[in-house]
Amino acid sequence: MPTTETPLPPLAEVLMEKIRAKNARVGVVGLGYVGLPLAVEFAKAGFTVTGIDVSVEKVAQINAGVSYIQDVPTDEVAELVAAGRLKATTEFAAILDLDTVNIAVPTPLRKTKDPDMSFVVHAAQSIARNLHPGLLVILESTTYPGTTDELLLPMFAASGLKVGEEFFLCFSPERVDPGNPKFQTRNIPKVVGGITPACTAVGAAFYGMALESVVPVSSTVVAEMVKLLENTFRMINIGLVNELAVMCHRMNINVWEVIDAAATKPFGFMPFYPGPGLGGHCIPIDPFYLSWKSKQAGIEARFIELAGHINGDMPHYVVQRTQDALNNHAKALKGSRIHIMGVAYKRDIDDVRESPALDVIHLLRQRGAEVSYTDPFVSTIRLDQGELHSVPAESAAAADCVLVITDHKDFNYDNLVRDSQLILDTRNALRDRQAPNLIRL
């Protein structure tokens, strides 16, 4: 890490000055739930920002002053576009006129659970074609340790420009938590690590101009690994409590009471809660980037694989518990009407990516049950056998069994307990209610 005594290379000094004077021309590639909030933060900080995205629709909406991201108010986008601080384009040639460019594109998994780097490669190739002296490139997409160094650097170095002297390359993990009322892009500490100390210095200075706190680290691989530790930590601990839930049911112990009491420990404990499975586009995905890379290093990531199996089995477990509950009422699952409350992957959002509700519905239908659902955030879900549409919660009364899969706050749980023949609550949404028709995971 350069100290105040270590002089930066001349082009780094020039870039540093532009950043400090806020006349560095900022670019963001990928205008989704990470890229658009980042672009808006830098525009609000006084920079002129160009968003670059392959989606013509996204580009048109931004240039029309409209936000399509839940956490970015449309009036902010409109004001910044009108002031000439923010614009969008599909043309990567815009990078020729930029001083910095952040990459915030998806890093999904293939069906084989191997990383799908195609979006990152496309973005990096497009940047490489427009790489010029003095440019700072920062990858933000969650990925395996070594991506920046092994995949991106060679693509950029092929230009003949020297990293750390003629262009600068960093990794900085995105930590955006959509819908989080307290932590948004501006006030979430920003970790950043560069290929060289000069890269780290300009990367840290860049973020420091728009975000409240910056955490420089010694390399891109450390920064890449930080994010994977954060999300693997969650996935494994969720797997732990899911296994605990299965144990507690078998031993006739209320796992929810156990966790709530354990959470009173003021140190050395962090509560996680059982559920119907692991949804979202981060937690079920990111750890497999780590296990894929560690396998290449000759080490099997056993915790990740085990937690993956436990979390992946939870939809089956929920269906088995439903079948047992119906049997106790002399009903077969086949032919029963099952009503699901909540299909989004977590409370009070509209995202169904990797949602365990989709697996539960698929398994129930496979066993001959008739399935309906209510979710005010999700009007339609697309399944292999066609679409299902959300129906009013009153439909629960006609069901043989109701499953609370996603505990949206605005559900009327009193009515649900009053009107349902049988309820399996997989989220402890019904808290301290006791009723003969109510069972918990």
> Which residues are known to be catalytic?
282
Helix (H, G, I), strand (E, B) or coil at 249: helix
Q: Per CB under 6 A, which region of 39-47, 276-284, 330-338, 388-396 contacts ligand SAJ?
A: 276-284
- In the DSSP assignment, the letter for residue 395 is G
Task: Please tell me whether residue 360 binds ligand SAJ under the rule CB under 6 A.
Answer: no
For ligand SAJ, the binding residue among 171, 256, 272, 373 (CB under 6 A) is 272
Give CA–CA dist 228/300, Å, rounded. 16
Residue count (the chain): 441
Instruction: Give the interface segment with ligand SAJ, choosing from 90-98, 169-177, 252-260, 289-297 (CB under 6 A).
Output: 169-177
The least distance separating ligand SAJ from the CB of residue 37, rounded to whole angstroms, comes to 12
- Number of CB atoms found within 10 A of residue 348's CB: 14
* Residue 230 to residue 289: CA distance in whole angstroms: 13
Q: Which of residues 331-350 bind ligand SAJ (CB under 6 A)?
A: 345-346
CB of 115 to ligand SAJ, least distance (A): 16
79 vs 230 by CB, closer to ligand SAJ: 230
By the rule CB under 6 A, 168 interacts with ligand SAJ: no
Does 408 bind ligand SAJ (CB under 6 A)? Our answer is no
Q: Which residues pair with 424 in a beta bridge?
A: 403, 439
| Binding test (CB under 6 A) with ligand SAJ, winner from 116, 177, 305, 313 | 177
Residue from 279, 308, 315, 342 that binds ligand SAJ (CB under 6 A)?
279
Handedness of CA 8, 9, 11, 14 (dihedral sign): positive
CA 359 from centre of chain = 19
Question: Site for ligand SAJ (CB under 6 A): which residue of 35, 164, 216, 275?
Answer: 275
How far is 280 from 346, CA to CA, in rounded Å? 8
Burial class (CB in 10 A: 0-12, 13-18, 19+), 237: middle
Residue 15 CA to residue 8 CA, distance in Å, equals 10
Q: Site for ligand SAJ (CB under 6 A): which residue of 170, 176, 388, 405? A: 176
Question: Interaction with ligand SAJ in 190-249: which residues (CB under 6 A)?
Answer: 230-231, 234, 238
Phi, psi for 432 (deg, rounded to 5): -90, 10
Rule CB under 6 A: say whether 282 interacts with ligand SAJ. yes
Comparison of 194 and 275: residue with beta carbon closer to ligand SAJ: 275
Identify which of 237, 215, 238, 239 has the alpha carbon closest to the alpha carbon of residue 227. 215
Residues within the interface to ligand SAJ (CB under 6 A): 174-177, 230-231, 234, 238, 272-273, 275, 278-280, 282-283, 345-346
